[in-house]
Structure 1
Amino acid sequence: MSDWLVSLEGTEAGHHLALILALIAAFLHAVFGALQKGRFDPWLMRGAIDVNYGLIAAPFAFFVVPWPEPHMWPIFVGAFVIHTGYKLLQAQTYSLGAYTVVYPVVRGMGPLFTVIGAWIVFGEVFSTTQWLGVLVLVTGIFGLAVYNLIFTVVARDTLVPALLMAVATGGLVALYTTYDAYGIRATADPFTFLAWFFMIDGIVMPPIAVRRWLRLEHRPPLCPLLTRGLIGAFLAYASFGSIMLATRLDKVGEAAVLRETSTVFAAVIGWVVLKEAVGPRRLALMALIATGAVIVELGG
């Protein structure tokens, strides 16, 4: 399968597959975010997810995929540091603010800075039409965040800190998207990067979650927590794996922009699953986000 994927790089078929993978990643990332923000404390949920995907990835890293080339080890160290910072900020952001408020801000920071990063690192250039699409998409995302900020009644006292944390988290989203795209392109087999990434990335959060769980007065039962963590692990494989393969097959900037349609899916999930209010204004802003993604794709 690796040889087949590599053969599609830079081709029209690869472009179409990258589009599909980016949209799959968008939906699954929204589900993943709702899972972390849902029933359990975000710190505990992230720890449960990471211990599952780290342990599952380990045998694939050691015995299935080709061994990483020597130059990959510093790249893995960099990815570990960036993703650790991202997850710490993300968990704190979800602890402070409502999902439909902070998630659009986190995701809204990503497209613009990732497109700029892709230009600097990979020499990718967006057309004027595509930049218009980015502007429309980002306007919709931040419009959704502002609307939620004005009308939300949940956790108003922590809203400003939550939004500041969301902005910082979004900056790290852009950083890791560009950096990981560089990483997955630096190895001959893309699944080598993915297997080793997930194994290494699963190290930090489980001990933090265990410590937090031990300190809680009312500790949630471990079995349901770990079961959800297992579901989250497979969501992470599919979501992160899809977007990383998309960045290997085609433009990093386009894949990043399309992934941010996850904000639309997140709003729907927040409404249907988390019972957070969604009205006509939000629906209009969600349509604006989707329109921006379409403009980016058609303008390429």
Structure 2
Amino acid sequence: MGDWLVSIAGTPQGAQLATGLALMSALAHAVFGALQKGRHDPWLMRGSIDGWLVVMSAPVAFFLVPWPNAQTFAILGGALFIHFGYKMTVALAYERAAYTVVYPVIRGTGPLVTVLAASILFGEHFTPLQWLGVACLSGGMLLLALRNLGEETLDPRGLRIGLIWAVLGGMLVAFYTVYDAWGIRQSANPFTFLAWFFFITALDFPVIAWVRIRRFGAPGGIGSLIARGAAGAVIAWISFGGVMVATRLDKVGEAAVLRETSTVFAALIGWFILGEKVGPRRLVLMAMIALGAVIVEMGG
């Protein structure tokens, strides 16, 4: 399977598969974000997800894929550091502000930086029409966050702090997207990188969650926390794994932009599942985001 993926990288077949994987990743990531912001404390939820990622990934990493070489282990060490920073900023943002406010900010600040970095590191170049699509998508996401912010009734200071963490999280999204794309391209077998990525980068937050449970308990119940964590781990494999394979098969920038349609799915989840308000203006902005993704995909 790994050899087949490598063989179709850079081909029309690979580009089609990359598009499908990026969109699948977008939907999965919206569900993943909603799990972190739902019933449980975001620190505990992320710890439960990561704990299950370690459990699920270990057998694959140790027994089902070739072992990584020294270079890949070094790259994975860097990924652990970067993703720890990202997870910290997301937890801090979710702790301070509403999901429909911070999620579009986190995802909206990333595509532009990702596309610029990919052009430098991977020699990718967007057409003027594709840049218009990036502006449409990122602008729609940030306007959506601004619209949601206008209806937020929480402490203004807390909101400002949450938004600061969200912007930092968005910058780290761009950083890890480019770094992970580079990392998976250095590995001879993409599934070796993926299995060890999920195992190594998930070792941190279970420790944080355990400390918090000992100090504050587990509001919402341990059983629900464990069950949602297991679901989140499966979704994480689909979301993060899907987009990383997409960046291995085709352009990093296009995969990153398409994945940010997760904001549309997130708004729908916030509306139908979390009970958050969605009106005509939000629907227009969601359409603007989707249109931006279409322009990027069709304008290349």
Q: Which bracket does the TM-score occupy, shorter chain normalised?
A: over 0.9
Which residue matches 1:261?
A: 261
CA contact (8 A) 1:93 1:102 kept: yes
Aligned CA distance change for structure 1 residues 138 and 219 (closer, same or farther; 3 Å): closer
2:87 aligned partner = 87
Distance 1:193 1:117 in 2: 21
- The residue number in structure 2 matching 1:33 is 33
Structure 2 contact 46–229 (Cα < 8 Å) conserved: yes
CA distance in 1, matches of 2:72, 2:261: 31
Task: Check conservation: 1:2, 1:189, Cα contact below 8 A.
Answer: yes
Map of 1:247 onto structure 2: 247
What SS does the aligned partner of 1:71 have?
A: helix
| C-alpha distance in 2 between matches for 1:5 and 1:218 | 42
**Alpha-carbon distance in 2 for matches of 1:81, 1:224:** 29
SS at the partner of 1:188? Answer: coil
Does residue 1:168 correspond to 2:162, yes or no?
A: no
How much has 1:70 moved relative to structure 2? 2.0
* 1:77 matched residue in structure 2: 77
Tell me how many residue pairs correspond in the alignment: 300
Separation of aligned partners in 2, 1:48 and 1:67: 26
In the alignment, residue 38 of structure 2 is paired with which amino acid? G
Counterpart amino acid of residue 91 in structure 1: A
Gaps of 5+ in 2: none
* Aligned-partner Cα distance in 2 for 1:148–1:15: 35
Contact 1:18 1:255 in 2 (8 A): yes
Could you list the per-position Cα deviations for residues 100-156 of structure 1 after superposition, in whole angstroms to 9, with x for gaps in the alignment?
000000000110000011111111111111001101111101110111111222454
Amino acid at match of 1:98: A
- Report the Cα offset of residue 219 of structure 1: 4.4
Taking only the aligned residue pairs, the percentage that are identical comes to 58
Contact 2:41 2:219 in 1 (8 A): no
Instruction: Identify the residue that residue 281 of structure 2 maps to in structure 1.
Output: 281
TM-score of the aligned structures, taking structure 1 as reference length = 0.98
The TM-score normalised by the length of structure 2 is 0.98
Q: Does structure 2 conserve the Cα–Cα contact (< 8 Å) formed by 1:130 and 1:295?
A: yes
Q: 2:42·2:95 contact (CA, 8 Å) conserved in 1?
A: yes
How far the C-alpha of 1:73 sits from its partner, in A, is 1.6
Two-structure CA RMSD over aligned residues (Å):
1.0
Q: d(CA) in 1 for partners of 2:92 and 2:217?
A: 20
Q: Superposed, which structure 2 residues align to 1:138-287 within 5 Å?
A: 138-216=138-216, 219-287=219-287
In 2: Cα distance, 1:259 partner to 1:155 partner: 31
